[in-house]
A and B are shown apart, each in its own frame.
Chain A
Amino acid sequence: MVCFGDTRVIAGIKGRFAQPDIESPGEGFVVPNVTLPSLCNSKYRPGMPSDSAVAMSCRLAAVLSKVVDRTQLCVRPGKTAWCLYVDAVCLNDDGNVWDALLLATSAALKSAILPATLYSAETDVVAVDRDGKGTMLKLNYLPVSVTLSVFDGTTIPDPTEAEERIEEGSVTCCVDQKGTVRAVWSSGHLPDELISGTLKYAVTRADILCSILQKVTGD
């Protein structure tokens, strides 16, 4: 669970066996999903997932597609592979949900353990070996995100909901633990110097978030 002020987000990973794709028999699946239930904010209505939840799921899928090497999720090539359902649920939306979501998801992925499996040739069934030792999930990099709101030529990091409602635009910068920028999307007009300044700030703040993440997940 990640709390940024009043914004609370929880992420969890559940593994299920699935048949791999015919075109990639040695790869498993990572299925991220973002839920913004109506309990987190009155602007979300119950029923169909809101547009922002769908867009965030899509963005999360794009970020995670390069983070997890899916060949390690293969159990029996062509027959069985792990399908990891990465669910991120917002419990309270007080702005800047995306940053909290990505941090929670990264923490969950970093501490995820793939259970050992047993295969029985007679029954042709793969089962989880509860006494066996699981393997930690190997990540290519650890993504962390920093969002800033754009107002009238200045930027404010980590906006609250009140700030988000009146913002002109926002800059979201996804950085990995080494400080390499992995994704940036921004709206709102920004002069050039402010863009580079904002990105540099995002990298320094991401470093702080990464160190907290690594402290919590025990490194």
Chain B
Amino acid sequence: TFHHYFKQINLSMLGPVMSTDKIKLRPLSSERSLLTKCDGSARVRQGKSSALVGIWGPVDVRANREDPEKAVIETTVKGATGHGTPVDKVIEQAVTRVCEQVILTAAHPRTSFQVIVQIENDDGSILAVIMNALCLALMDAGVPMKGMFGAVSCVRKAEDQERHWDATGEEEQKADCQFVFVYNSEKEMIYSDYSGEFDIDQYMLVLQKGRQVAVDLWAFFREAFEKLLVKDVKYQMLLKSKP
């Protein structure tokens, strides 16, 4: 069974720095449990960018790769078209790093979690889309995690020096700065990737603004799951049994 949920996130930000950024994300949709053979899977679409993540875990790992203290994360990223490119390897490293921090790997020593990412369409902010799909897929697989995480991306256009959140492919090409931030549920930054020409104060400003967006993302994830769990008998019984 899968569940489809559509929501447009529209935020006006007036943070403590009193800036006039109007943060508008593209329409966000998610589907869960769409792959029957995986332990967990999810697809997230932000505008036209779309990524599908499948999770297997905990599963067997080859003896030479196993870790006696924790689970090993094995990631594969496949691009939308053509054979693999080196960029896929960079995304793999990013996904592995985030998984290592969020998954309770010490709970499953000498096993591995396999993460397969399929980029279906890259129309900008694809790393953020992948991270969001990853979070939903991990939740769908029931993998023990420290908390949810959410990713936000932002670019600064070269001509007008304006910040655009959740940029499309076209906006990314015209940008001179690109940010991607992943926040954990304690709102700490757990992964970031930035390139361009920026000073530290502005980097921190974008980091803080992105946090607000991440909070809305989690509300969306929570809603996406609650809609499904409404039909789940066990979960309803659990809710009723609680005082």
Contact = CB atoms under 8 A, between A and B. Distances in A.
Interface of A: 51-52, 54-55, 57-59, 61-62, 168-169, 180-192, 195-196, 199-200, 203
A61 B86 CA distance: 10
Q: Which one of A52, A57, A188, A190 has the highest number of Cβ atoms from chain B below 10 Å of its Cβ?
A: A188
B194 A185 contact: yes
Contact of A192 (B87, B90, B204): B204
Q: Which 6 A-B pairs have the closest CB atoms?
A: A58-B86, A187-B97, A189-B188, A54-B89, A183-B195, A55-B89
Given A180-B197, A181-B198, A199-B203, A188 B90 contact: no
Interface string B104-143: 0000000000000000000000000000000000000000
Contacts of A184: 192-194, 203
16 contacts: A51-B89, A55-B90, A58-B87, A58-B89, A169-B191, A180-B197, A180-B199, A182-B195, A182-B196, A184-B203, A185-B194, A187-B101, A188-B97, A189-B190, A196-B204, A199-B200
Q: Which one of B94, B195, B204 has the highest number of Cβ atoms from chain A below 10 Å of its Cβ?
A: B195
Contact of B189 (A62, A189, A203): A189
A192 B189 CA distance: 8
Contacts of A183: 194-196
Interface residues of B, number: 29
A192 B207 contact: yes
A200 B204 CA distance: 12
B92 interface: yes
Contacts of B198: 181
B212 interface: no
A61 B204 CA distance: 26
A1 B204 CA distance: 35
A190 B204 CA distance: 12
Interface in B77-102: 86-87, 89-90, 92-94, 97-98, 101
Contacts of A58: 86-87, 89-90
Contact of B97 (A59, A61, A169, A203): A169
B199 A181 contact: yes
Nearest to B211: A192
Contact of A191 (B87, B188, B195): B188
